[in-house]
Amino acid sequence: MKDYLVKDLMVPLSEYATVPEGSTLYEAVQALEKAQEEFDHTKYKHRAVLILDKNKHVKGKLSHIDAIRALEPKSDTDNGIKHLIQFGFSHEYVNNLRKKQRLQGAPLKDLCRKSYELKVEDFMQATAEGECIDHEATLDIAIHTLVLGNHLSLMVTKDKNIIGILRLSDVFAAVFHSMKECSV
Amino acid sequence: MKALENLFDRIVQRVNINLRELEVDVNPFIKELIPFGQLVKFYSFYGVTPHHPLDFQFRHSSLAGSYFLGKCRVMNSILYKSDVRGDELKKKDDVFRYAEYEIPMSEDERIEIEDSFLIKTLVHNFSHDPETLEKFFITNTVSTHYANIHGSPTDGSYLGPFATVDLTTMNDCVIGAFSYIQAGEIGHLDIPPGTVWVRSPGNFNFLYRYPQDKLANYIYFTKGKPPQGVFIDFVEDRKEAFQRVFESVNMEPSTSVPKSASLDRFAVIKPKTHISDNVLVAQRAYLQNSWMGKGANAQENCYIINSRLEGFNVTAHGAKIIEADLGQNVFVGFNSFLRGRPDCRLTIGKESVIMPHTIIDIKKPLSIPAGSLAWGLITDASDLAANSIPLKEFAAINGKFNKGELYFEGNGAVFTASFRDRIHHILEANGAFFDGKKNRGHAQKNQNISFNTIQPYPEGEQEGVYPTIIIRP
């Protein structure tokens, strides 16, 4: 079996969908679409957009679920509802309030319009230490890190700078490829 | 003053260790809040009566301007202008009922304050924790201006200005400014400012949270600065009147006081105030041009100005009533701020309950119907509609209820009954139902209190620290 390294499997930052901080949700979705059109190395598509600060360093990641979550109806009351559990209210009570609020929420069309106003940094996921991996790390380490943190991708670092992204799909493809090469 | 500085550092360290999980450092909040010079300026005093056990122990502590009554022990602590009122502590052989248990008291209960810094804080009532019935402890804790620790054993916690913890055992918690917590037992919680939370597990859960931007106008507290806002301005404007009563050795009451009523000599009474039978006015209460009907009370840090209370009114610790008319049996909860104006008075109908930490601040006349439950921030009729409900309607709730920023789950009847019972208990304990022979309470028992003063080392390394003092019969 080939000894893959992370740098062999990662998608370089230059090929990944990125937007600068301050971009809107709409701009992030456009960037993702563009990257998918240009990137055809595998049948697996990009599933996230990276957010870059003014020094072009990766600040966070916007995944599909983050984008969808941003379109959910939100208000101060909704934020408050989240904290009711800490005060001993039942899950049934909290879910009921959420349901009630959703029914009272604005239609999707209006929320889509708001996607021009929503800023990516308000709903992206900031890069955490546990989801980074060195570019020289082996596939074993990468698998371990993905499984341990339940991640869909890892940020690949070189000298503390993020240089690419290692997706679960690429790791799976490498493992699957090795499996096929096994002579049983 | 080296000893005092070391004592302060020791307390801060102990509190921070307890709050490390919440990543709270209390030092920047309290470092220069009370200059050490202030701690030397004021004497401390304790009450002597035949009705309460005489057992005080003060060790390695600073007690500037603080008051003690009942069985208390203070060790390694700094208390600044705080009231430790042990007139409701349990006595030996009393039986405490908890769930299906009947627990006899093996000795008189004692308030124990250790490794704590209390600023203008009221400590009152008795421990409701069945695990520590003989000891109402406050340890490794910092509390700031006008906080209330009421029947709440507390360890490793921080209370912001005007915060109240009521009938709740608390470990390692931060209670934000103007929050009221009555929840039985809490631990490791960081409660934001302006949270009003009343919970009885299995029975009900009541939660209201103030909008932070609007609350900041009334109370705002940040690192390195003293508390600010309407509440602080209000009490500061009346500070001078208290200086006079604390500086005088003997004070003659400025109004006639019936034999069945009690007017504390450390209360301020301004002209044209009427005191009826069975009225209780506690120390640090401020009454001006007001009518106190039979059995009404004004507890510590209460201000009642240009108002009329018809009778059997409970004005809980720290509540303020200005330009208002209250019917009989109106309950005004802890630290509530009710402000009418001379040309637009506030009227509250009889048997209404104003929840603890309610703000009613109006610029047009407002009338709250009899039998109402009101909470939160009310500035006009539309706020009143959003933040009140007839008590009867509330009692009918069984399950889920949400109105504006109020969240309620459980049994409304149990909630209203528990308030009704508590109001009755407070009136009873205060002596509101005294008939000349039976039902004596604080109003009758606290009439003749002797006050003795104690003072700290005036200079040197121990400046500001009191020598060890043990006072027993």
Q: Does residue B317 share a domain with residue B247? A: yes
Angle between helices A168-181 and A139-149 (to 10 degrees): 130
Q: Which chain A residues have a beta carbon less than 8 Å from that of B201?
A: 88
Q: What average pLDDT does the segment B279-289 reach?
A: 94
**Do residue A84 and residue B407 have CB atoms under 8 angstroms apart?**
yes
Average pLDDT in chain B: 94
Q: Per the domain annotation, does B230 fall within a domain?
A: no
Structure-block tokens of residue B384: 């009143």
Q: How much is the pLDDT for A174?
A: 87
Domain count, chain A: 2
Is B232 domain-assigned?
no
Task: Average the pLDDT over each of A32-36, B140-144, B222-226 and give the range with the smallest value.
Answer: A32-36
- Is B190 an 8 Å CB contact of chain A? no
Chain B residues with CB under 8 Å of A88 CB are 183, 199, 201, 205
Give A93's contacts in chain B (Cβ within 8 Å): 400, 407, 409
Of B249 and B445, the structure prediction assigns the larger pLDDT to: B445
| Cβ neighbours of B205 in A, within 8 Å | 87-89
Pairwise pLDDT comparison (B397 vs A56), residue with the higher score: B397
Q: How many domains does chain B have?
A: 2
Q: Report yes or no on B231 lying in a domain.
A: no
Contact B409/A86, CB-based, under 8 Å? Answer: no
Block residue for tokens 């124990």 = B112
Residue B227 has pLDDT above 90, yes or no: yes
Q: What is the model's pLDDT at position B359?
A: 98
Provide the pLDDT for residue A76.
46
Are residues A123 and A37 part of one domain?
Answer: yes
Q: Give the distance from CA A133 to its chain's centroid.
A: 16
Q: Which of A59, A93, A114 is a domain's end point?
A: A114
On whether residue B456 sits in a domain, the answer given is: yes
Question: What tokens appear for A171 in the block?
Answer: 């790791």
pLDDT at B1: 85
Radius of gyration of chain A (CA): 19
Tokens of B301: 């840090």
Q: Contacts of residue A101 in chain B, CB cutoff 8 Å? A: none
Task: Specify whether A58 is located in the same domain as A144.
Answer: yes
Question: Residue B404 domain-assigned?
Answer: no
Q: A80 touching B, CB under 8 A?
A: yes
Compute φ and ψ for A179, nearest 5 degrees: -60, -45
Whether B55 shows a pLDDT value over 80: the answer reads yes
Within chain B, what is the greatest distance between any pair of CA atoms?
Answer: 65
The answer to whether residue B254 scores a pLDDT higher than 80 is no
Q: Between residues A184 and B50, which one has the greater pLDDT?
A: B50
| Residue A129, min C-alpha distance to chain B (Å) | 20
- Do B221 and B264 belong together in one domain? no
| Domain co-membership, B219 together with B367 | no
- For residues B435 and B467, state if they share a domain: no
- CA separation for the pair B322, B366 (Å, rounded): 13
Residues B409, A90: C-beta atoms closer than 8 Å? yes
CB contact under 8 A, B199 and A96: no
The reply to whether residue A80 touches residue B209, judged by beta carbons under 8 angstroms, is yes
Does residue A83 form part of some domain?
yes
What gap in Å lies between CA A170 and CA A39, rounded to an integer? Answer: 14
What pLDDT shows up at residue B22?
A: 95
Is residue A110 located within the same domain as residue A124?
no
* Closest-CA distance of chain A to residue B198, Å: 10
Contact between B409 and A89 under an 8 Å Cβ cutoff? The reply is yes
pLDDT average, residue stretch A86-90 = 93
| Spatial distance between the Cα atoms of B267 and B252, rounded to a whole number of angstroms | 11
Of A114, A130, A145, the domain-final residue = A114
> Which among A43, A53, A41, A48 is positioned nearest to A16, based on CA atoms?
A48
Shared domain check, B327 and B465: no
A89 touches chain B (CB under 8 A): yes
Strand order in the sheet with B359-361: B268-269, B286-288, B303-305, B320-322, B337-339, B359-361, B377-378
Tell me what percent of the residues of chain A surpass a pLDDT of 90.
19
pLDDT at A43 over 70: no
Domain match, A24 and A103 both: no
CB pairs under 8 A between A and B: 27
User: Cβ contact (<8 Å) for B407 and A96?
Assistant: no
Same domain, A40 and A13: yes
User: What is the residue range of B214's domain?
Assistant: 2-225+449-471
Q: Are residues B462 and B438 in the same domain?
A: no
Of residues A3 and B186, more confidence is placed in B186
Residue B277 falls in which region: left (phi positive, over 0), alpha (psi -120 to 50) or beta? beta
State whether B252 and B157 are in the same domain: no
Residue A88 CB contacts under 8 Å (≥ 6 apart), including other chains: B183, B199, B201, B205
Q: Does B185 contact A at CB distance below 8 Å?
A: no
Residues A108 and A155 placed together within one structural domain of the fold: no
| pLDDT tier for residue A35 given thresholds of 50, 70 and 90 | confident
In a shared domain, residues A86 and A177: no
Give the whole-angstrom CA distance, residue A175 versus residue A173: 5
A84 touches chain B (CB under 8 A): yes
Q: Which CATH number belongs to the domain containing residue A54 in this structure? A: 3.10.580.10
Look at the pTM and tell me if it is higher than 0.95: no
Tell me which of A93, A96, A97 to substitute to probe the interface with B (most B C-beta atoms closer than 10 Å): A93
User: Are B284 and B346 in the same domain?
Assistant: yes
pLDDT tens for B433-450 read 999 888 988 888 877 788
CB atoms within 10 A of CB A113: 11
The pLDDT of B325-353, averaged and rounded, is 97
pLDDT value at residue A161: 85
Domain range holding A26? 6-68+117-181
Mean pLDDT of A82-103: 87
Whether residues B189 and B313 share a domain: the answer is no
For residue A68, what pLDDT band results from cuts at 50, 70 and 90?
confident
Identify the residue among A84, A87, A91 best suited for mutation to test binding to B, counting B beta carbons within 10 A and taking the highest: A87
| A62 and A106 share one domain | no
Nearest to B159 by CA among B211, B227, B244, B231: B227
CA atoms of B169 and B129, how far apart (whole Å):
6
pLDDT: is B115 or A16 the higher one?
B115
For range A125-149, the mean pLDDT = 88
CATH number at residue B304: 2.160.10.10
Residue B190 placed within a domain: yes
Predicted local confidence at residue A101, as pLDDT: 76
CB contact under 8 A, B199 and A97: no
Does any domain span residue A1? no
In a domain, A139, yes or no: yes
List, for residues B161-220, the tens digit of each pLDDT value.
999 999 999 999 999 999 999 999 999 999 999 999 999 999 999 999 999 999 999 999
Report the pLDDT averaged over residues B8-32.
96
Q: Kindly state whether residues A41 and A125 are assigned to the same domain.
A: yes
Burial (CB count <10 Å: 0-12, 13-18, 19+), residue B32 = exposed
B114 domain residue, yes or no: yes
Chain A CB contacts of B176 under 8 Å are none
User: Among the listed ranges A110-119, B129-138, B167-176, B303-312, which one has the minimum average pLDDT value?
Assistant: A110-119
Considering only CA atoms, which of B372, B358, B408 is closest in space to residue B203? B408
The label of the residue with tokens 């309470």 reads B441
DSSP letters, B298-343, are E-TT-EEES-EE-SS-EE-TT-EEESEEE-TT-EE-TT-EEE-BTT
The answer to whether the beta carbons of residues B352 and B370 sit under 8 Å apart is yes
Domain match, A63 and A139 both: yes
3-class DSSP assignment, residue A145: helix
Closest CA to B450 of B50, B9, B6: B50
B405 contacts in chain A (CB < 8 Å):
77, 80
Q: Looking at CA atoms only, how far is residue A93 from chain B in angstroms?
A: 7
Q: Are B178 and B249 within one domain?
A: no
pLDDT at A38 over 80: no
- Say which of A76, A80, A89 has its CB closest to residue B409: A89
Question: Quick one: pLDDT at residue B106?
Answer: 92
Measured CA to CA, the distance from residue B342 to residue B324 in angstroms comes to 9
Task: Looking at the structure, tell me whether residues B261 and B162 fall in a common domain.
Answer: no
**Chain A nearest C-alpha distance from B360 (Å):** 22
Nearest to A88 among B205, B211, B400 (CB): B205
Q: Considering only A26-35, B98-107, B310-319, B332-341, which range has the smallest mean pLDDT? A: A26-35
Q: Supply the mean pLDDT for chain A.
A: 82
Q: Are residue A106 and residue A148 in the same domain, yes or no? A: no
Residue A26 counted as domain residue: yes
Let me know if residue B406 belongs to a domain. no
Residue A91 domain-assigned (yes or no): yes
Q: Is B17 exposed, middle or buried (0-12, 13-18, 19+ CB in 10 A)?
A: exposed
Is the distance from CB of B124 to CB of B280 less than 8 angstroms?
Answer: no
Residues A26 and A86 in one domain: no
- pLDDT-derived band at A105, boundaries 50, 70, 90: low
- Regarding whether B269 and B203 lie in a shared domain, the answer is no
**How far is B306 from B90, CA to CA, in rounded Å?**
37
